[in-house]
Structure 1
Amino acid sequence: MAEQKKVRHILSLSGGKDSAALAIYMRDRVPEMEYIFSDTQKELPETYEYLDRIASYLGKEVVRLNADIGFDHWYEMYGGMIPSNHRRWCTRALKLKPFEQYCGDQEVVNYVGLRAEENRGGYISHKSNITAVYPFKEDGLVLRDIEEILRTSGVGMPPYTQWGRTRSGCYFCFYQQKIEWVRLKETHPDLYDKAKAYEKPYEKTGNFFTWSQGESLSELEQPARMEHIKREHVIRIERQKSRNENVTLAKVFADAESAQEPDDDDEQGCLVCQL
């Protein structure tokens, strides 16, 4: 009689609310679950704090992948060209590749934290041995349910949300909103300066690439510009509230996420960073 192949169950944590809630949701349903995090070495300190909080609740180690080959290694490999929504080498090299290497050739069920109300695709490996499943979609869980899971577990929302960041990912993630760059400057000025240092002419072409669309971080950090961004952000929030008097914090995050959706055919990859 042929020996039955062992199936591994793997959940990738991003440091975001959805994958955190999914880990909590699945803890007792799949006791053999493996929890992993692809570490770019450019995460927010709050992200590492949140991962420790999640691991404590789970009672299991969160395995750190790629910790010895972080962003700067691949940055040099790509000739000093910073990534963007059209050059998402960071997701491929730092998130997807380490994940597939960790899975190897074994049969894997990959748990993805897409919610029931979300009309977008998640990362689905091209490898035939990896099958993606979406428990929140299957069970009809929406944003308010995720918020409740985090609240009742005591894990809570990611700590970076306290200063206005809406998503996980590297501190210099190019999908940040302008207001998030302002908050980064105010909360972690050292990280803002490190991000700014990457903005320099690409030596092969002389082109000057920026993290934030349409302006450099040197331009964005000017006091008048920062105040303008803050005012515009307040106006947007007030408009959202006027459309829904009972708007929750999670709804504000959802509106911010929908405004920042990737718009090209590599959409699936960046969800690995953001869920």
Structure 2
Amino acid sequence: MKNKVRHVLGISGGKDSAALAIYLFEKYPQLDIEYYTCDTGKELTETYQLIENLEAYLGKKIKRLVSAEESHEDPFDHFLKLYGGYLPSSVSRWCTRKLKLDPFEEWVGDDPVISYVGIRGDEDREGYISTKPNIQSIFPFRKNIWSEDVMTKLFTNSNIPKLIEWYKQTSSSKLDRILNLVQEPVTPKFLRATKVQALLDLDTEAFNEVVFQFLQTTAYPLSQIKQFPLIDNNDVLVRDDIFRILKDSGVGVPQYYEKISFEHNGQKGEYARSRSGCFFCFYQQKIEWIWLYEQHPELYKKAMEYEKDGYTWMQDESLADLIQPERMAGIKEDYIKKTNRLNDNKKSPYLVDILDEAEGEGCASCFI
């Protein structure tokens, strides 16, 4: 007997995953979603507060997944010791695997799983896709809710006859135009991504129906479901929608996104944190490290204590060097200049709206 398909959603402590939980709860209450969070033991207090707020709103507990649960140390400290004090970095993200992915994959086991991921419609990234065949990712905020691996398998030229057959079973009013497009083979001059986008633009719901028909012929978890409510979804949610959902629901925006004013050489600046994740995350920008130092000095001190035996959070600078008066002044001055240039076109109360490029960096497993 096959296991029941599970619907799961990871809460990172960030805005997007929290908004996705609210969005799906409101729009698709028929989905029995299991919520989880991977607790590293090194999160900001605001992250735990967001989780509590979500639990109250959803009326359901968010499962805490903890690596090395038998250890007397926090998960991060446990694995740091195993790695001989080697701090994680962009080129060796052992924290992602050990503290996030491994506990998640152990929790779901071999059950067929639909994993809902909060990547927005204004982002150009895929996020974490498990290599386990029993885990399938869905992206409700995007026009294309399907993962890249599904697109690659479906939109091969050998599948054109089947695509035609499946599209003819839809009730699309644009069928003639769609079929002309479907029959055009993918070539180096007509890329798969171009074809997919054109079909989505013509009729998103028909596109979803066809993908779902294809999935019925595969071993993906959705092959075990005869109806999937998100097929009718044609919403595209962007950053402003995320903040609106959080505010309107009463769950609230995590406080670390709120700008805090500072002054440097008579000039005013504003800083905050642009992401969730551990307080010492190595993907932070240097202005965010200064934010941590000035707003949470006790956490900055703890982060400094991890830097020893030649291991530092940043490749080019230690945290002790970063907070030298001249260095801090230079970082703030450069940051004010940068934000002044960008502020002319982007008016928002959130730092994350000013530093878009920072948000795209890092590990989707932590920050979605």
CA-based RMSD of the aligned residues comes to 1.7
What does residue 276 of structure 2 align with? 168
How far apart, in 1, do the equivalents of 2:254 and 2:237 lie?
Answer: 19
Partner deviation per Cα, 1:107-166 (whole Å, 9 max, x = no partner) = 100000001121111111111110000000132111111111112111221111235111
- Identity among equivalent positions (%) equals 49
How far apart, in 2, do the equivalents of 1:74 and 1:140 lie?
Answer: 39
Counterpart residue type for residue 326 of structure 2: A
How far apart, in 1, do the equivalents of 2:251 and 2:42 lie?
Answer: 23
Partner deviation per Cα, 1:55-106 (whole Å, 9 max, x = no partner) = 1111111111016351011101111100000010000000010110111111
Q: Structure 1 residue runs of 4+, over 3 Å off? A: 259-262
3-state SS of the aligned residue for 2:142? helix
Shift, 1:261, TM fit: 3.9
How far apart, in 1, do the equivalents of 2:359 and 2:238 lie?
Answer: 19
What does residue 366 of structure 2 align with? 273
Shift, 1:27, TM fit: 1.1
Partner deviation per Cα, 1:201-251 (whole Å, 9 max, x = no partner) = 1xxxxxx22213421000011122222212221111111112x1x52235x
Counterpart residue type for residue 190 of structure 1: E
Counterpart pick for 1:230 among 328, 332, 336: 332
Shift, 1:47, TM fit: 1.0
How far apart, in 2, do the equivalents of 1:38 and 1:169 lie?
Answer: 10
Shift, 1:254, TM fit: 4.1
What does residue 178 of structure 1 align with? 286
What does residue 6 of structure 2 align with? 8
3-state SS of the aligned residue for 2:141? helix
What does residue 46 of structure 1 align with? 46
Q: Which has the higher contact order (CA 8 A, sep 6+)?
A: 1
Say yes or no: does 1:192 pair with 2:300.
Answer: yes
3-state SS of the aligned residue for 1:41? coil
3-state SS of the aligned residue for 2:121? coil
What does residue 194 of structure 2 align with? none
How far apart, in 1, do the equivalents of 2:359 and 2:15 lie?
Answer: 16
- Structure 1 residues 1-275: aligned runs within 5 Å: 5-28=3-26, 29-30=28-29, 31-66=31-66, 68=69, 70-138=75-143, 139-162=235-258, 163=260, 164-201=272-309, 208-242=310-344, 244=345, 247-250=347-350, 252-259=351-358, 261-262=360-361, 270-275=363-368
How far apart, in 2, do the equivalents of 1:98 and 1:5 lie?
Answer: 20
Q: Is the 8 A contact 1:175 1:260 kept in 2?
A: no
Instruction: Kindly tell me the number of residue pairs found equivalent between the two proteins.
Output: 258
How far apart, in 2, do the equivalents of 1:121 and 1:254 lie?
Answer: 20
Cα distance 1:217–1:12, how it changes in 2: closer, same or farther (>3 A)? same
3-state SS of the aligned residue for 2:355? helix
Gaps of 5+ in 1: 202-207
Counterpart residue type for residue 296 of structure 2: H
Cα distance 1:260–1:212, how it changes in 2: closer, same or farther (>3 A)? farther
Moved more, 4-13 or 73-82: 4-13
Counterpart residue type for residue 115 of structure 2: N
Moved more, 166-175 or 49-58: 49-58
Q: Is the 8 A contact 1:110 1:130 kept in 2?
A: yes
How far apart, in 1, do the equivalents of 2:2 and 2:41 lie?
Answer: 38
How far apart, in 1, do the equivalents of 2:318 and 2:360 lie?
Answer: 21
Moved more, 47-56 or 6-15: 47-56
Gaps of 5+ in 2: 144-234, 261-271
Cα distance 1:260–1:20, how it changes in 2: closer, same or farther (>3 A)? closer
How far apart, in 2, do the equivalents of 1:257 and 1:103 lie?
Answer: 33
Q: Is the 8 A contact 2:37 2:64 kept in 1?
A: yes
TM-score (norm 1): 0.89
How far apart, in 1, do the equivalents of 2:256 and 2:348 lie?
Answer: 17
TM-score (norm 2): 0.67
Shift, 1:256, TM fit: 2.1
3-state SS of the aligned residue for 1:249? coil
How far apart, in 2, do the equivalents of 1:231 and 1:59 lie?
Answer: 46
Moved more, 157-166 or 171-180: 157-166
